[in-house]
Structure 1
């Protein structure tokens, strides 16, 4: 065989291998998306029903068992969220929305969320020097840093965890440092691979699936924010994220004089649509305990019939995306808005496909992916309805 023919044969083999790898990767993504959706429905129902049950459990032992149930649900949610994040990033349906804002908006929230967990483990917790203006996608950067902090907390039993920011040229280096188990040199090149975990040979699910750093790598590539790591086995690790610094001309969220959002002090009406009866019951129970009057239905036609009978404009529509008979939740939202004008709406779904996300985006509706905790749902409903809870009052079902 001539050299030319040999080269052509090698090139054909390479192309065939690449196509086979792409098919296998696509098949894996489709499987993850399908499994994620089917598992999320019953888990979502358990979240809502557990929250509704809390107010009926009065004795200490019962509340302790309910707390253990919630911990188990949180663990399952974390595992499913990791699978969902990987499938969405691999599918290329995540598009960064760049904004100029103070990085302290993220680090302050992380401080509030992770500080108590760190100190509860007996660790020293510090957040330092994070007062710069950056240009990035707020939500995606938050997710990236949360994954790094989850990793630090998971593998640090003594010492300290520190979040530190410092400028390096035109970038801000956000560093997550820990005094945990560290990473052996032979593992440094593999820690960003799916399902690869250091220090968890028994595959303890309380320590996750090994997807956190894989998601960090994909977010780093998507945002073009390089992530660097240095580690000493047995002494700890430090992960650095390099984020572009933006001019401090205009920061998102400023310009309103710092005044709190107005509280809506009136009876509110929520339209809830889900074709899973258990999920719908749980959602209806939670919203009712939050003080909403509820119109609940398993499809668009029933929702409109029941809403028309009330002869009043709803305050919010919360709908599953995939309904019976090939109907979708955006149809409900469109019909409500055609009749009553602009009404805040939210899609609550286990669907992760590109067509679903594109349709929801075209309607200008935010998405929460099941399973959603009552607290997450409450935060999004509050945001859509401009409800201020700065007084610290939290509905029973959201606790």
Structure 2
């Protein structure tokens, strides 16, 4: 039924159906009016609801435009990041390739240096006329400089390439320190310095080769910066391990520089040695090796009062230690009459070894291949040797030095073996140790070779 105010305007209807439709239309009009009223009441303060609607539409369009612009920017950033990632990966690949290359060619780089060191060491053992000893000494020191620089670069490359892995064993501290003391005592005396060594027979657990690198860097650093006075090499028993110490009476290190000296390419500016050839990498290598081994470093220094570097090495189980010490033996025991076979594919190396060994009184048989050595052994005049010095990398097509040594040991069970190599891989060291062989890295340090031969000959 229509409301009374509309009934007066109600037109005549021809049927009940038309009336019902009119009533429904009236209800829809009332609903529409109510909805319009609610929209208007929810509009802006100014009472312009359609303006609010238009404003909302405009905002939505702006949001859509800005979202699209953001999407395009993100795509551009993603493309730029992809290009940067590609460039970074290419740079890392190039750097890794360089480090792998330098680490891999260390054998070829060290071969001629090894030969030169052998010849120089042989000359230093001889009585030379006039000014020749001084000149030979200068050559020897220059070769040691080259060896140190090249060894440092190779160590850095091996560390960067992840090729330098620890080979932890149990050994006595004096197996390492006795050799270092003999070597650096001579160098200290040559520089006018006194050298004090406090030995220790305590059993420790570490990587002998890497720990030797740390101690050599400590000693070389002490020599480099100490112009007068003395050097100290010794040990202290601590609760958590053996503290291996190198001290000097040099100028000391200012407190502000004590952290920086372990950074790469940082060199102390307090040295007066204008001929020093250090790269500032020695202590950086020490820090990285110490972290790798888990051995804490310590530095105590006072400006004008010298410095003391140390590394704390854990104690080893005595039950795991195999006694290979040379206690009671000295280099003065002599190697005269010792028979030594040398197998190396480099004829210059062989000649250098012959000069060096025969200068010590050894009887040598030298061969550049296993076939040549076999031919020599076939003669009745070749007697069994006391020791075999064999290079790990032999001629192309031949097996490695460890396998050659195994075959010779089958024929000569009492043959002592020393493997010589420029390869620092921990696996080679482990295999060498498991076979009970000696181990020397190139360039050979004649003092260390002589001490090992002395231990074999007088053992």
Class of the TM-score when normalised by the shorter of the 2 chains:
0.7 to 0.9
Render the CA deviation track for 1:53-81: whole Å, top value 9, x for unaligned: 45775422223322222222232223233
Is 1:23 aligned to residue 89 of structure 2?
no
Give secondary structure in 2 for the equivalent of 1:309.
coil
TM-aligned CA deviation for residue 6 of structure 1:
11
Measure, in 1, the Cα distance between the counterparts of 2:191 and 2:122.
Answer: 30
Matches within 5 A, 1:144-159: 144-158=214-228
State TM-score, norm by structure 1.
Answer: 0.73
TM-aligned CA deviation for residue 363 of structure 1:
5.6
Stretches of structure 2 that go unaligned for 5 or more consecutive residues are: 1-69
Aligned partner (choices 209, 216, 221) of residue 286 of structure 2: 216
Are residues 357 and 30 of structure 1, via their aligned partners in 2, closer, same or farther at CA, if it must alter by over 3 Å? farther
Are residues 20 and 162 of structure 1, via their aligned partners in 2, closer, same or farther at CA, if it must alter by over 3 Å? farther
- Name the counterpart of 1:44: 114
Are residues 167 and 361 of structure 1, via their aligned partners in 2, closer, same or farther at CA, if it must alter by over 3 Å? closer
Contact 2:247 2:306 in 1 (8 A): yes
- Name the counterpart of 1:295: 365
The higher-RCO structure (CA 8 Å, 6+ apart) is: 1
Measure, in 2, the Cα distance between the counterparts of 1:160 and 1:188.
Answer: 21
Render the CA deviation track for 1:14-58: whole Å, top value 9, x for unaligned: 976875565345323333335533332222222333344457754
Matches within 5 A, 1:234-253: 236-245=306-315, 253=323
Render the CA deviation track for 1:202-240: whole Å, top value 9, x for unaligned: 996644333321221122122211113355666654434
Radius of gyration: which is bigger? 2
Q: Which moved more, 1:163-172 or 1:325-334?
A: 163-172
Matches within 5 A, 1:70-85: 70-85=140-155
Contact 1:100 1:251 in 2 (8 A): yes
Matches within 5 A, 1:86-165: 86-90=156-160, 91-99=162-170, 101=172, 103=173, 110=180, 113-114=183-184, 117-118=187-188, 134-158=204-228, 161-162=231-232
Render the CA deviation track for 1:115-171: whole Å, top value 9, x for unaligned: 565566566765679786654445543432231122122112245555575566534
What CA RMSD, in Å, does the superposition of the two structures yield over aligned residues? 4.6
- For these two proteins, the number of residue pairs brought into alignment is 384
Stretches of structure 1 that go unaligned for 5 or more consecutive residues are: 389-399
Is 1:379 aligned to residue 442 of structure 2?
no
Aligned partner (choices 375, 384, 390) of residue 313 of structure 1: 384
TM-aligned CA deviation for residue 113 of structure 1:
4.6
Are residues 92 and 14 of structure 1, via their aligned partners in 2, closer, same or farther at CA, if it must alter by over 3 Å? farther
Render the CA deviation track for 1:330-373: whole Å, top value 9, x for unaligned: 24323323433352222323344678667756765443222214
Contact 2:167 2:430 in 1 (8 A): no
State TM-score, norm by structure 2.
Answer: 0.65
- Name the counterpart of 2:342: 272
Measure, in 1, the Cα distance between the counterparts of 2:272 and 2:229.
Answer: 25
Measure, in 1, the Cα distance between the counterparts of 2:201 and 2:373.
Answer: 48
Contact 1:319 1:329 in 2 (8 A): no
